[in-house]
Amino acid sequence: DYSVSLDNRQLKSPPFEINLRETYFASLDLDYRVDDWYQDNRCNHKTILYPQWRVYRLGSASAQSRELWVSSEQLAHSDGSLSNAFLASPGQYQLEWNIPAAAPCLNPRHPHLSVYTESSGYREVVGVTQLFCLFLGGTGLGLFVVAGEHVARWKFARVLSPRIFPDMVLRNVTSIAKHAPLAPIHLMPHWGLFCGAILWILMFIFMIGPPPSHGLFVNLRSREVIAWDKSPWQETLGVYVRAPGRFFVNGEEIERGSLRTKLLEHLRRRVEWTVYFEADFDTLYMDDIYAVETIQGCGAKLIWITPKMREEWRHKEQSPQHVL
């Protein structure tokens, strides 16, 4: 990760070391700004799209010339798309990155060249290794406690009092049947083995199980989004977003910051909190996400009306009804 300045078209990183044979990714990253979503000619990340980059492998001797390892031209696909992934073996490398035009206006966004690899597999291995070390450490600690208990019992054992007739052998009148002592099941080694088995079973279940789901809940059991034919309320509650950044609640235009207050004002008069959401095709993504998060933040159920759903509803209303 090396910070660069976009005053010039050609960017170059210092020599860096690779110690694993893996697939690596090269990129030129910037801090996030809202300007990246606009389609006008303002200075944003589109200014530095479609770069040309090369990775050189350096020799062991400082005077030895470098050799080209991989370039963006070699990784170009037939459909015109570019890939920034390359396979590298251990050694010393250097990255050169050429952008279409100089963009000093992007310097406040802290541009930096990055060469990285996917680390999720290594994190899983490290996590399993740490759990195994904790298991061994817990078992060793349990054995240490049990051994300390036996040593303390032997060292501080009760000393027998002296007898008047030490030569006289004591005899029992009634014979006592002696049984072998039962091994206690509450000692630390047994506890460690039992809990260790449960821990390994849970680790195996969570490693092969599906990852948790994220995003909006979608029901695919039927084509219809709404489970009923008619709404129980005469007036539904809908939010509509129109470009540029205009918000409407039931046809009434409101300010962006007043959306939550207006929704709560309508929802407090209802028992069933359902809000229909719809947006034009040319609205900004951040305006749509703001409206969705505001609706869900109020605790209401969100029904997103897509253009395809609107077209199907319009076609269903215009189609003739067949009466048998």
Provide DSSP, 266-312. Answer: HHTT-SS-EEEEEE-TTS-HHHHHHHHHHHHHTTPEEEE--HHHHHH
248, containing H or E segment: strand 246-249
Q: What tokens were used for 302?
A: 């969100």
Digitized pLDDT (tens) for each residue of the chain, 324 residues in all: 788 888 888 888 888 888 888 888 888 888 877 776 766 777 777 777 778 888 888 887 654 578 888 888 877 765 555 678 888 888 888 888 888 888 888 888 888 888 888 877 777 888 888 888 888 888 888 888 888 888 777 777 666 667 777 777 767 666 667 777 766 655 555 566 667 778 888 887 777 766 666 666 666 665 554 544 455 545 678 888 887 888 888 888 888 888 888 888 888 887 778 888 888 877 888 888 888 888 888 888 888 877 777 777 777 777 655 443
Q: What tokens were used for 171?
A: 């005899």
Mode of pairing for the β-strands spanning 112-117 and 252-254: unpaired
Rounded Cα–Cα distance for residues 187 and 167 (Å): 40
Class for domain 2-119, per CATH?
mainly beta
Alpha-carbon torsion 306, 312, 316, 318, what sign? Answer: positive
The residue type at 179: H
- pTM assigned to the model: 0.40
Q: How many CB atoms lie within 10 A of CB 128?
A: 12
54, containing H or E segment: strand 52-58
Which CA distances in Å does 262 have to 178, 248, 254, 267, 271?
84, 10, 8, 9, 17
Contact 67, 56 (CB under 8 A): yes
CATH 3.30.420, applies to 238-317: yes
**Residue ranges per domain, the chain?**
2-119, 238-317
Q: What tokens were used for 118?
A: 């996917």
